[in-house]
């Protein structure tokens, strides 16, 4: 039993369903879950947008808003910038700050002299614990 008392799923011609769908998408839901949320088929919004330019524009705006909503909810950091190639302003800022810090640290550290070497620990001669290992 639908709102219209007809058989089948609700459609996007119903203004209430359309509104609920667009709100869900603008809230950050993907098309699939938003479709499920309002009870329409997963492909209906795409087919509807193909024939209804007004709905297509509304859907495009809602999707952009939803993406922004999802992006803002993420944990932005330098690692996000480097590993996920995120270019959210917060990630760019964190990455720039981290780079500045690294360069400052590198400038503050004294240069190592060319003669400075790390002492390499020499291997100690092993005691002959396994004399049978040598077959020759
Ligand atoms: Zn990010």
Q: What confidence tens digit (pLDDT) does each residue in 110-133 have?
A: 666 667 777 788 887 776 666 665
Cα(103) to ligand 1 centroid in Å equals 22
Global confidence as pTM: 0.61
Neighbours of ion ligand 1 (CB under 5 A): 76, 80, 86, 88, 91
How far is residue 51's CA from residue 59's CA, in Å, rounded to a whole number?
13
More confident residue, 135 or 74: 74
Cα(68) to ligand 1 centroid in Å equals 11
The domain ranges of the chain are 15-73, 78-107
How far is residue 78's CA from residue 92's CA, in Å, rounded to a whole number?
8
Cα(29) to ligand 1 centroid in Å equals 18
């Amino acid at each position: 039993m639908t709102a219209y008392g007809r058989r089948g799923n609700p459609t996007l011609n119903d203004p209430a369903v359309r509104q609920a769908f667009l709100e869900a998408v603008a809230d950050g839901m993907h098309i699939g879950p938003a479709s499920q949320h309002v009870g329409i088929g997963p492909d209906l919004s795409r087919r509807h947008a193909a024939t209804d330019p007004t709905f297509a524009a509304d859907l495009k705006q809602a999707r952009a808003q939803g993406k922004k909503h999802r992006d803002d909810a993420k944990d932005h950091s330098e690692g996000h910038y480097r590993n996920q190639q995120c270019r959210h302003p917060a990630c760019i800022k964190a990455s720039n700050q981290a780079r500045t810090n690294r360069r400052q640290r590198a400038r503050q550290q004294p240069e190592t002299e060319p003669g400075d070497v790390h002492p390499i620990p020499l291997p100690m001669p092993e005691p002959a614990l396994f004399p049978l290992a040598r077959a020759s």
